[in-house]
Amino acid sequence: MGPRPRRPRPGPAARRPDVGGPHRRGPAAAADRRGPHRAGPAGAVRRGHARRRGTGRGLGPADPLRRPAPRPVRGGRVTAQLTAPATRTWQADPYVDALRAGQGPLFLRRRDGWLLPLDVERWCAGPDAADDTVLARCTGPVLDIGCGPGRLVAALAGLGHTALGVDVTPEAVDRTVRAGGSALCRSVFDPLPREGGWATVLLVDGNIGIGGDPAALLRRAAELTAPGGSLLVEVAAADVDERVEVHVEDGAGGRGAAFWWARLGARALDAKAEAAGWTRCDSWQTAGRHFSHLTR
């Protein structure tokens, strides 16, 4: 979305919330009790990775993305087409405007009025101290699910990793490329390169909430990760396990389409991860952010 300027020198990039389009689920779970309008600092809410599953092992004999994931090259790009409804949703979403501007205000609002501020300015900066703790735990080829505009993908490329971001927003993919990373404009539930071969998979900035179905997302991550590989997940600070219908708004009347989202604390993640074949081997917190390291 938006023009694609010539690539400047790699620099900090925004990381968008991976918010999504409609996801067919039941009623939302109860919210946590911290009040109707405050929920503390937000992780990213990022894209609508609709569950359009293919074979899971390739993109078809004529599709060049069937090749193994390319090593990131500054300015390199891997892309795929979104469906028309998904594309229209993101073109109209205030998240895209915030992404282009590199700043908020931007909020996630639940149907009952609960409001979560989204930390756009942090996503638009380079990796911070908390991000560095994630980067330090990455090994081998890395897949960043809901990469946003690519601050972590670009940093990983700079560290010499083969790294690929996946995001459904074209503007996010463009910014990832401009930052020096490689990205695929596609849902995590679509066929992806190197399935079953990623040494590290990332679900940071709240992206465990993609699609409002963490159990399905954890199973999908297991399909993507190599045996013995790692899944690094950012969780909510609160002991919460909720699935809610939300929309993004900008505080000035701009409002995106409704979609399903989830938030998990560490305890809820452990239970869902175990059912999907993951084991927690480590957890840590820094700068007010909380993470879990899962292995399989």
Please check the confidence at residue 11 and state whether its pLDDT lies above 50: no
- How far is the C-alpha of 265 from the C-alpha of 270, rounded, in Å? 9
**14 belongs to a structural domain:** no
Which domain CATH number covers 124?
3.40.50.150
Whether 174 and 2 have beta carbons less than 8 Å apart is answered as yes
The residue-averaged pLDDT of 158-176 equals 93
**232 belongs to a structural domain:** yes
Report the chain's C-alpha Rg in angstroms: 17
Please check the confidence at residue 292 and state whether its pLDDT lies above 90: yes
Residue 183: strand, helix, or coil: strand
Please check the confidence at residue 220 and state whether its pLDDT lies above 70: yes
**125 belongs to a structural domain:** yes
More confident residue, 209 or 93: 209
- How far is the C-alpha of 201 from the C-alpha of 221, rounded, in Å? 7
Whole-structure pTM value: 0.73
Count of domains observed in the chain: 1
Which residues, 6 or more positions from 250, have their beta carbon under 8 angstroms from its beta carbon? 94, 97, 98, 104, 105, 106, 107
- How far is the C-alpha of 188 from the C-alpha of 165, rounded, in Å? 10
The domain of 133 spans 74-295
Which residues, 6 or more positions from 37, have their beta carbon under 8 angstroms from its beta carbon? 113, 114, 115
The band of 236, judged by pLDDT with boundaries at 50, 70 and 90, is: very high
The residue-averaged pLDDT of 201-221 equals 98
**95 belongs to a structural domain:** yes
- How far is the C-alpha of 241 from the C-alpha of 264, rounded, in Å? 5
Of 100-104, 157-161, 162-166, 220-224, minimum mean pLDDT range: 100-104
**68 belongs to a structural domain:** no
**H/E segment holding residue 164:** strand 163-167
Query: CA–CA distance from 270 to each of 163, 212, 235, 239, 281 (Å)?
Result: 26, 17, 11, 12, 10
**46 belongs to a structural domain:** no
Interval 90-143: pLDDT, tens: 444 898 998 889 899 999 999 999 998 988 888 878 999 999 999 999 999 999
Please check the confidence at residue 85 and state whether its pLDDT lies above 60: no
**133 belongs to a structural domain:** yes
What does pLDDT average to over the chain? 78
Locus of tokens 């999908």: 220
**35 belongs to a structural domain:** no
Report pLDDT for 77.
Answer: 42
